[in-house]
Structure 1
Amino acid sequence: MRVLVVDDEPAARAKLRRLLAAHADVEAVFEAADAPTALALLAREGAVDLALLDIEMPGGSGLQLAAALPPGTRHVFTTAYAEHALRAFELGALDYLLKPFHAERLAQTLARLREQLAQAVPNARLAAPAGYWWVSTRTGRQRIDLAEVQWLAAADNYVSFELPPQSFLERGTLGALLERPELAGLFLRVHRCHAVNPQHVRVVTPLVGGEAQLRLSSGAELRVSRGYREVLDQLR
């Protein structure tokens, strides 16, 4: 396995390197003190199997760095603060390690990585049939029915697929995702931050100033901004 360690604390990087050295299948460990250095290293050295990312770093957090990693890079967040755990898993992290690091806990993370790598299949076999999409979860990849997705929402450098009560995060921007041929014609952008599946729109309520409020089949409500009011004719 090839592992990238990103942490602005030299002592933390050194300890992770020592702990990783105890695993015979860890063939290479790369280090970076900040996000720009990490991205430059990846461009030079190629892909890694795992990135261990400190959350709080000068020049860009580990959460921001995760969004900029090459697609498919598994990542684990490291920090001294447990309150970041939920956000980490929302962003598709493989695991979450608290400082100070312990050999047993890291071994659990690597075991989870080995399991995922063993189950990995070629991308060609992951091609979803028309009307479906693969999303990342804590345990791997899951295929969802796009007809059940009620709306797409921009979330930092991610897009959230909303299937109430479930939601799944996909790395990228809303604009780029809507240009994908698999999604063409399935969603209408009604706001800079979200696009709606017209099949789930139940009520369209006009508002002052050319805006509108949409109520979806789940009861969720979305705003149609004035800049996208031309889509209202398609919704009606």
Structure 2
Amino acid sequence: MICIIVDDEPMALQLLESYVLKTPFLQLVGKFSNAIDVLDYFYNRGDAELIYMDIQMPELTGLQLSKKLPPHTRIVFTTAFNQYALDGYKVNAIGYLLKPFNYAEFLETAQKAIQLESLSASKPLQATDDYIFVKVDYKQVKVLFSDILYVESVKDYIRIYLTSTAEPLQTLMSLKKIEELLPPDQFMRVHRSFIVALNKIEIMERNQIIFGKQRITIADGVKEDFLNRMKLPH
């Protein structure tokens, strides 16, 4: 799970970071000392599936911040004051860690988060016969399979390039995950960082597929399969 941590106390932030880094199914993508920087992160750059954050912080408290985050975000509050526990559950926090807490307590909340994410991911209607919905910023955007040119992996995100618009859609998802959602008879992963729509390929040069200014190299390991599917001579 993609995770960020928020605490205005440097020692507490350091402890949270050490706990996240030793948990194999969590990936730390950001650490912040105030709520304003978290809002900036969500607005300008990214997303997160899980947030560990303090409640008492300057400018915006963790409770106030939680009400401004995307609804899908899993929240675990960390605080030295147990009177906030009830308020934490009022904003649908999945966990509440009272400082000082140990790794076993931290791990229990992380496991709960991954279980909830697994249940959510197993729900039906993630993909239909001709489209999927992907999360872009704070919106769910419908993407027709027939509109996709190619998909590019960029670190923790993918960019979906479409025929209908010049700007790609960027969403927090692995290339492997979208590969599972796309119809295998229409799309092929030709490189570790690219999936292409086979019926949209019009120009090839040597070992590369060309979409406008983008050149996508066909990996040696899939070249024979690609040529067969495109009905091209070897």
**TM-score normalised by length of structure 2:** 0.53
Question: Match for residue 185 of structure 2?
Answer: 185
Tell me which amino acid in the other structure corresponds to 2:18.
Answer: D
Q: Distance in 2 between matches of 1:114 and 1:90?
A: 14
Question: Match for residue 219 of structure 2?
Answer: 225
Question: Match for residue 168 of structure 1?
Answer: 170
Q: 1:75-154 maps to which residues of 2 (within 5 A)?
A: 78=32, 89-93=44-48, 102-104=58-60, 109-113=65-69, 124=123, 127-154=126-153
In structure 1, the residue corresponding to 2:229 is in which secondary structure?
A: helix
Change (3 A) 1:219 1:200: farther
Aligned-pair CA distance for 1:195: 1.6
| 1:129-180 deviation per Cα after TM superposition (whole angstroms, max 9, x unaligned) | 32211211221322211222211222234433233412222323x34542x2
Question: Match for residue 71 of structure 1?
Answer: none
RMSD: 4.5
Gaps of 5+ in 2: 50-56, 74-90, 92-119
**TM-score normalised by length of structure 1:** 0.52
Change (3 A) 1:150 1:128: same
Question: Match for residue 53 of structure 2?
Answer: none
Gaps of 5+ in 1: 17-30, 44-61, 67-75, 95-100, 207-211
In structure 1, the residue corresponding to 2:202 is in which secondary structure?
A: strand
Change (3 A) 1:104 1:200: same
Tell me which amino acid in the other structure corresponds to 1:225.
Answer: A
In structure 2, the residue corresponding to 1:232 is in which secondary structure?
A: helix
Tell me which amino acid in the other structure corresponds to 2:210.
Answer: R
Change (3 A) 1:125 1:77: farther
Size of the alignment, in residue pairs?
172
Question: Match for residue 199 of structure 1?
Answer: 199
In structure 2, the residue corresponding to 1:195 is in which secondary structure?
A: strand
